[in-house]
Chain A
């Protein structure tokens, strides 16, 4: 509520035209991702309700320059473009890259920082791969939906590099050291920060950059007037040394920033823009969406198989086991059902990496399968208990062993009771499989998000993705209904 009021205040202020003589309390709401951390934006350790970082200082400089007070708003990094366009805040500043697609779809400021895409490798691989072309068949990690990811995707076509996409910029480096990937391609600021955190010896950064890019502020396309004011402020801050002071304070100043400032001052309009021009055509994305759909289908089928097998064992333990086994199985069900799947996936993949280094796909199958096993177990337990006691007693009087009763009488009927809820769970699992993108598995939803980021809209990718999910879940529901009809008991 208060957010939309603030936004409205901003928009009115923006429409009124901005000068130096603004009311003192007028706000410039800016969006950034504090999860991205220092030196961009991070929560202030002294006062976690405040943020600090060089992007924070840049935002304050801009706000001051247009006579407003800066106020930070947390937004997920990959959503900055969409969020600024729908008016959540006036400007996004958080290591936002200058790309051709972004320039086309939004109002983008002049570049205010130059970064280099650098390769990080394990110390023993120093000098082994100086360029992407040398990394054929190697797994190279980066942050998803970035210029670096686009570069890797291009390199996978031209040089056979295998891109591995992460949702954050910390785990690529930890997985580099764990041996899950062979190199990391990311902004030099991020690489240096990680190296600093790991006390400077964990990996080395290859000196020759793979590409050069720039950070910009991003505004809604309709906000070009405000954008022009921001550009004026930024140019002034380059000339009067404000930006240099900010960068030095955060230890990110280097000679290339000075060169960038001079080029901007000289009025060079098109500072080099790297990265792919976002392919607008749906057809260009169909093959990768198809591959992602196959991954989703295979992942779901394997996970469900595992869930059924483990679920049957757990349910049997709960129905037939002795008290300690029953308690153990109940504990399993409660823990797996009672904690977030996302948390379980993180623990399985990253938390246990020191003990057992699971490949991403296997970890995804295990995580999903073991989690859903808890739900399956409850379904089977209920189904087993739904089979009438007198039938079981009748089977006993006929001389069947307990095992035979389960196999011939109780199990087959329980399966019929379980069928509808199982179909339900399978459909739910199909969609929950999108969570495994946090383990670098690019499945359907992740691929759609990448696609949506590239084309700058969720409409076509979203519809396409929904159609593919429905194409998988609807036949499943139909099969479930058919079996239910055929096996109806009474």
Chain B
């Protein structure tokens, strides 16, 4: 079975600067949580942005559920509609719409992109917020939410159009250890909506080893512009073979 997301030898540089990504290859299957790990500056966020077509790339290929992105400038939005239905992205800063309530943030794409009726959209949005345990904060503005609440609203918003692939950028950055555990369980639940091979695929950029170990099916270590080591968390994180993995582990042990 072909993977939901296939990134093949992705090469990317910023405006004539040094290459950020040299030949990044990674796959995500349905029902699978993949942690893309690396130290800060390794290019994790850049890779996610390329998959979400927010960032042009210079070589390689990205295919999401049959929709292919080619090297070169980002195509106009009108040609990206199929991709937009397939990929959701949760930003590290959450990027909630500051002028809308939590509920409106989640419902906006349902009413204006999927053209659902308002009541129906708000019903779905409320269900999503409830499922992510922030239903009580539906009427709050983003500025009134805590970091954890804002993240859950952001996840609900990304999930609202029901994309098969969910990208998350450093989801544990603003969370305390207890909340990290809760988030890990939530993400596992999201991946396995309908059981393995049917549910969503999650690609999570993180440098949090404990979190990856707890919730990822597979981890891929990104260093020097490519995946230097990949496999189950047990294999990679307990028996690291690459220096970059060991450096990452050492950084967090201290």
Interface residues, chain A, CB within 8 Å of chain B? 388, 390-391, 393-402, 404, 408-409, 412-413, 416, 487, 489-490
Contacts and interface: CB of A to CB of B under 8 A. Distances in A.
Which of B88, B93, B112 gathers most chain A CB within 10 Å?
Answer: B112
A416 to B, nearest CB: 7
Contact of A408 (B78, B81, B89, B108): B108
B54 A393 contact: yes
Interface in B134-169: 141-143, 157-158, 160-161
Nearest to B91: A390
A413 B108 contact: no
B119 interface: no
B109 interface: yes
A419 to B, nearest CB: 12
Contacts of B95: 388, 390-391, 393-394
Interface in B171-214: none
B151 to A, nearest CB: 13
B84 A390 contact: no
A153 B91 CA distance: 70
Contacts of A412: 99
Nearest to A394: B95
Contacts of B77: 396, 400-402
Given A397-B54, A397-B84, A397-B87, A413 B99 contact: yes
Interface in B105-123: 108-109, 112-113
B84 A487 contact: no
A400 B100 CA distance: 16
A395 B91 CA distance: 11
B91 A489 contact: no
Contact of B113 (A390, A394, A398, A487): A398
A401 to B, nearest CB: 6
A487 B109 contact: no
A395 B52 CA distance: 12
B167 to A, nearest CB: 8
B98 interface: yes
B246 interface: no
B86 to A, nearest CB: 10
Which of B52, B78, B84, B99 gathers most chain A CB within 10 Å?
Answer: B99
B163 to A, nearest CB: 9
Interface in B60-95: 77-78, 81, 84-85, 87-89, 91, 93, 95
Contacts of A393: 54, 91, 95
B112 A404 contact: yes
Which 3 A-B residue pairs are closest in the complex by CB-CB distance?
A399-B84, A390-B95, A394-B95
A409 B84 CA distance: 17
B99 A398 contact: no
Contact of B98 (A399, A408, A490): A490
23 contacts: A391-B98, A393-B91, A394-B89, A394-B96, A394-B157, A396-B54, A397-B52, A398-B84, A398-B88, A398-B109, A399-B81, A399-B84, A399-B113, A399-B161, A400-B112, A401-B78, A402-B77, A404-B112, A408-B112, A413-B99, A416-B99, A489-B141, A490-B143
B99 A489 contact: yes
Contacts of B93: 388, 390
A391 B96 CA distance: 6
A398 B78 contact: no
Contacts of A416: 99
